[in-house]
Amino acid sequence: MRILSSNSKLFSLGKEMSQKSITSFFTKSPANKIVKRSLSEVENIDSSNVIPENKKVKVDFEEECEKSTNKPMESSINCQADSGPKQNTQDGKGLCMLTESTKFNQIEQNRLAAETKLMSKMLPALHPNIGLTWFQALRSEFDRPYFKKLSKFLAEERSKTTPIFPRPEQVWTWTRECRIDEIKVVIIGQDPYHHPGQAHGLSFSVPVGVAPPPSLLNMYKELENDIEGFKRPGHGHLIGWARQGVLLLNAVLTVKCRTPNSHKDQGWEKLTGAVIKHLNSQGEGIVFLLWGSYAQKKAEFVDEKRHHLLKTVHPSPLSASRGFFGCKHFSRCNELLEKQGRTPVDWSHLPAE
């Protein structure tokens, strides 16, 4: 009976302590109280209590970081998309696993996401949905005078009545489907399609439901003659290539409706040149498909001892018959990849998404 009595006292004492702990946990002390402000509150704060300009960006950025760090990441990350951390699906279960081979971790990923969001508010040429590995690699470019000038130009263009293509949220599509360190093929275009509904951020590609333009139809024609078993799809959406490490990059990333080359020499060429320079210095054995004189200008940024350059005329109906047909660039590209022990591109993988 003495033992039971002792246990009962211990139980009562434990219960009392637990209740105090719970009460203490849910009682906010001044020392632990965290005051949060939304970005809109900071931006719309009363003029009598204005945060100094040199501190405001810091406050905004710290708040964005805090929000992002406290926000749990989605568990169903697309393993092929550029969501930040290196993804590995070789665990036999198709699960996305973070590897030690990358410097990314979840905190760093959230910090970068917060930074892209904040910078996009100040630079209209940027968008918060840019792939994080690409943002990290190109971060210094966004601070350069040319990019600030480009952003000002783009803001003015978008404020006018004539539409600008692609839409802001689609300008950086090429960065979202594959990490920058997983690029193995580069196809360079000139500038986006300039008719409504065509451009969506991947060179030569159009959304499902939009008729493939003549240049893309000529690419399909060459594929039919070059790649055994290739069947022309009923659409022009090339996202299936992008997800395999094929960078579909235009030298200029925006255009005015029905006015080709209207955004030429405004700064995009410097940005995409920086992309090629990064791939040249950090990559190895990348295959560059350079079609036409405009794309071939980017060859000056590529070390042919480190990478492979395949050149021919543009697939446009104006020039395709002068060398594009019969170039066999698609099969030659795969041969070069296989010699390196890399997975060839499945050019037939073009899902209608």
Residues with a known catalytic role: 191
User: CB neighbours of 210 closer than 8 A, spacing ≥ 6?
Assistant: 197, 198, 235, 236
Report yes or no: 319 and 292 within 8 Å, Cβ to Cβ: yes
User: How far is the CA of 311 from the CAs of 279, 290, 293, in angstroms?
Assistant: 18, 5, 9
Residue 66 is encoded by which pair of tokens? 């805090």
State which amino acid sits at residue 178. C
Q: Which of helix, strand or coil describes residue 241?
A: helix
Q: Considering only CA atoms, which of 86, 272, 265, 242 is closest in space to residue 173?
A: 242
**What does the alpha-carbon distance between residue 352 and residue 206 come to, in Å, rounded to a whole number?**
11
**What does the alpha-carbon distance between residue 99 and residue 102 come to, in Å, rounded to a whole number?**
6
For 135, other C-beta atoms within 10 Å of its C-beta total 22
**What does the alpha-carbon distance between residue 321 and residue 339 come to, in Å, rounded to a whole number?**
30
